[in-house]
Copies of this chain bind each other. A is one copy, B any other.
Amino acid sequence: MSEDLPHPDRAEIRIEAVLHALADPVRLHYVREMDRIGTGVACGAIELPVTKSTRTHHLRTLREAGVIRLRKEGTARIATIRRDDLDARYPGLLNAILSAES
């Protein structure tokens, strides 16, 4: 019942992957909403202008880049931003990006 999807270790997170993951408008919007909510959110709780399968794809990109962590909770997946990891690796980055207006 733990994490069944692979996540990169903190040391494995690459800046290019993080930047690329957050460069996509859909993904950036998603992470901003997560930040606004402030707690873990079920994947589907944040509405996106794309289908479920595309959402899965986007979340996968965020997960693999090390931006978010996904854990199972019943039928749902709860997503949390890896703030501690990102702040440790790239101090100030996440705040700068999330506070930027699009």
Contacts and interface: CB of A to CB of B under 8 A. Distances in A.
Interface of A: 14-17, 19-20, 22-25, 28, 89-93, 95-97, 99-102
A97 B28 contact: no
Copies in the complex: 2
Label chain A's interface by main secondary structure. helix
Nearest to A15: B100
Most buried by B among A17, A89, A100: A100
A19 B21 CA distance: 9
Nearest to A24: B16
A89 B99 CA distance: 10
B20 A16 contact: no
A94 to B, nearest CB: 8
